[in-house]
Amino acid sequence: MNKMNHILPRLALLPVVAALLAASCNKNTGEGANVALKRQFDAWRAIHYPAAVEKDGIYIIEDIPGNGLEWDDDLPVTFLTYTMRSLDGTVTFNTDEMWARQLGEWNQTYYYGPQVTPTGKDASYAGVDILLEGMREGGTRTAIIPSWMLTYSRYDTLEGYLAVSTDNPATIYTITLLGQTENVSASEFRELKDYAKQAWNVSDTLSTAAVFFKSFSEFEDEPEEMPNDTTVYINYTGRRVYDGQVFDTTIADTAKYYHIYNPSKKYAPVPVTWAEKPTEIKLDGSSVVGGFAHGLYAMHPGEKASFCFGFDLGYGSSGSGKLIPGYAALQFDVELVPEP
């Protein structure tokens, strides 16, 4: 689940074909802001993509049908992978592993799985919603979306779109539709429950939060409770649930194995300040995301455990850096160790 994160970021992509992107030359023609620009675009398209099929203002280049459910514009969230190219073919944004490998840009640490993408008015560009219309799960469609269709506004006619300038250049999108949902949290929770059952034979969450917890320690007697305001030390490894890639760890060999080793970082157990409430727990003096805090709070001295949780207890819809995409479910493997 590359912070992951809307498919339609408000990006000012590099200009590619000056005649097509210099909208300023059309502002004083007495026509709609994009009418002259459309004439130039149509001339370019006739040369480069003469077989493209026009569909409500966008132009479909290739359509590989899927055999799953048809895309529903009433569902607010879509799962997909996508690639964006400028009109000269330069890839400007990519979430597809196959494309990354072909371009020689594949990175083991990056996330190439399904992107969680809000769709509909005010959430995605009109042209992208038009591209998705009629697609079925498993299908892939490539289309040229002109700049005037890369707007969050919706109009009843093409003239309405042509009357308004945007800052976005015409872009070629390749989208593979993977699914949809009404509620991302609920969908992710179901997936996590299946994951915890298969990986750890755990079906229930902690009483304090929607965190699936598995202890790998056995205690002869009732485990000792952690006193408040105590400083303890932990080794931990954080990974993305979807693909298992580690994004952070206190163990040098683990960092090297997953290609995230940083020679300037000290790999050693880190201090945790215990507290009366999980939300008040501090890791090396700093607050932690809710899922991590609740997982730690369930642990006892000397214990080793793993726990996982959804994006709403992690880094939310925006993610964190290149290693944690938006809507990412996370797992932590933690061991309480003696003070180093």
Instruction: Determine the pLDDT at residue 6.
Output: 35
d(CA 80, CA 95): 9
Amino acid (1-letter code) at residue 124? S
Give the tens place of pLDDT for each residue, 220-232: 777 778 878 889 9
Each residue's pLDDT tens digit, 186-204: 999 999 999 999 999 999 9
Residues 224, 230, 234, 237, CA torsion sign: positive
Distance CA 245, CA 257 (A): 10
CB count in 10 Å sphere of residue 91: 17
The whole-angstrom separation of Cα 88 and Cα 125 is 21
pTM: 0.83
Work out the angle at residue 246's Cα, subtended by the Cα atoms of residues 244 and 249, and round it to the nearest 5 degrees. 145
pLDDT at 25: 39
Structure-token match 């030359």, residue found: 25
Question: pLDDT tens digits for the chain (340 residues)?
Answer: 333 333 333 233 333 333 344 433 334 444 677 999 999 999 999 999 999 999 999 999 999 999 999 999 999 999 999 999 999 999 999 998 988 998 899 999 999 888 999 998 889 999 999 999 999 999 999 999 999 999 999 999 999 999 988 899 999 999 999 999 999 999 999 999 999 999 999 999 999 999 999 999 988 777 778 878 889 999 999 999 999 999 999 999 999 999 999 999 999 999 999 999 999 999 999 999 999 999 999 999 999 999 999 999 999 999 998 899 999 999 999 999 998 8
Contact (CB, 8 A) for 116 and 4: yes
Q: Would you call 181 exposed, middle or buried from its count of C-beta atoms within 10 A (0-12, 13-18, 19+)?
A: middle
Please give the helix or strand (H or E) that residue 92 lies within, else none: strand 91-94
Cβ atoms within 10 Å, residue 37: 25
Distance CA 178, CA 150 (A): 22
CB-based contact 127:152 (threshold 8 Å):
no
Phi then psi dihedrals of residue 279, to 5 deg: -70, -10
